[in-house]
Homo-oligomer: A and B are copies of this chain.
Amino acid sequence: MSMNSFGHLFRVTTWGESHGPALGATVDGCPPGVPIDEAMIQHWLDRRKPGQNKYTTQRREADEVKILSGVFEGQTTGTPVQLMIDNTDQRSKDYGDIKDKFRPGHADITYFQKYGIRDYRGGGRSSARETAARVAAGGLAREAIRALAPNVQITGYMVQMGPNRIDRARFDWAQIEQNPFWVPDAQAAADWADYLDGLRKSGSSVGAVIEVVARGVPAGLGAPVYGKLDTDLAAAMMSINAVKGVEIGEGMAAAELTGEANADEIFMGQNGPQYSSNHAGGILGGISTGQDIVVRFAVKPTSSILTTRKTITKSGEETEIITKGRHDPCVGIRAVPVGEAMMACVILDHLLLHRGQIGTNRGHIG
């Protein structure tokens, strides 16, 4: 039992702090024979990398991943894969003036209260920098999925920034890669650019909602009660820094529906069951239906802002703080590849769990 691990059979343990020498992911349980190299993982890391445009923190990190174990002659061996990323742009002096103050909205105070020790350098272990390790592990998971369930496609995108929501009528998968916000709506992307630039200049920040969809997931993944696919997805997404809510399918809005409006009717398609709608988000009773798996999560606004805020020091004195570090006006942007990575890890894990308990035979309909 490790508090810094996730997954059952595909088991990822991340380690490292914002300003230590390195961070990484120790991945155990990957199937052997998966073709992988550093460039394949780097592809995903580059999407999360800071400093790529004016909307993300100006910390410059190469985020270069090294594979230290578990891969031989271009394939996974089935033994632990160590994915390490050196920290290169640490500038810990930036944080000297907040050494004894707790930043409101950050984990500074709770880490100190729990552990009696505070790594004041950029949040230490609580920094969102940890998510680089998840993205690396997710890159490996994607390649492993390819062998097991080649039709799976995992895509994340932003559907809300502050009060602004996308227009689902304009939804276009092709737009996602065309703008810095991963928004599937060209008009929204244009509008939000001005909005966020204004916030950035004023030293403020704003929250966002990210949606991650997994298409092509076979029916039958997940398990009862606490091994539900949606249970693991909820945990995976809520474990991402700054996330405050997670929804599957209709999500919180399911509360407003009647039974008639909510339950997806079932028909018989050429390749098995089909549904009239997907209010369920691809999961019934914790087990995948074969429809798209649809997860959304809300990311709160960065708490590092240029407005002066009231706080206290380690010795309990009241004081004020202003956070001048290099930060993101909307951390939700960089949460998109992180959400995708978590989805990939969960899907792979449940593919392996299902194969372990049941093999490949399942209940065949029709």
Q: CB of A219 within 8 A of chain B?
A: yes
Say yes or no: A266 contacts B125, CB within 8 Å.
Answer: no
- Given A117-B32, A207-B256, verify A220-B26 contact (CB < 8 Å): no
| Complex contact B117–A266 (CB within 8 A) | no
Copies, count:
4
Pair B254/A245 contact, Cβ less than 8 Å: yes
* Interchain CA distance A79-B356 in the complex, whole Å: 14
- A residues contacting the other copy or chain, number (CB 8 A): 163
Is A61 part of the binding interface, using a Cβ–Cβ cutoff of 8 Å?
A: no
Across the two chains, which residue of chain B brings its CB closest to A110?
B287
Q: Report if A166 contacts B (CB, 8 A).
A: no
Which of A123, A222, A244 has the most chain B CB atoms closer than 10 A to its own CB? Answer: A244
> 1/0 per position for A91-113, CB-CB distance to B under 8 A?
00000000000101111011111
Closest to A281 in B: B244
Cβ B220 vs Cβ A253 within 8 A: no
Tell me which of A75, A77, A285 has the highest count of chain B C-beta atoms within 10 A of its own C-beta.
Answer: A285
Please indicate the chain B residues that have their CB under 8 angstroms from the CB of A224 in the complex: 3-4, 79, 125-126, 130
Cβ of A56 under 8 Å from chain B? no
* Cβ–Cβ contact A119 & B72, under 8 A: yes
Instruction: Judge whether A156 is part of the interface by a CB distance below 8 angstroms.
Output: no
Shortest Cβ distance from A300 into B: residue? B254
Residues of B within 8 A of A118 (CB): 363
Complex interface: chain B residues within 8 A of A17 (CB): 69-70, 72, 77, 79
**A26 and B26 in contact, given A114-B287, A226-B5, A362-B114 (Cβ under 8 angstroms):** yes
With A206-B257, A225-B14, A254-B298 as contacts: A114 and B354 at CB distance below 8 Å: yes
Q: A123-B285, A228-B238, A244-B250 are in contact. List 8 more A-B contacts (CB 8 A).
A: A2-B11, A17-B69, A22-B68, A32-B117, A125-B225, A163-B256, A245-B246, A247-B252
A-B CB contact pairs (8 Å), 18 listed: A1-B9, A17-B72, A17-B79, A104-B266, A105-B280, A110-B283, A162-B256, A208-B255, A225-B239, A232-B235, A234-B235, A244-B248, A244-B250, A250-B298, A250-B300, A262-B300, A266-B310, A352-B357
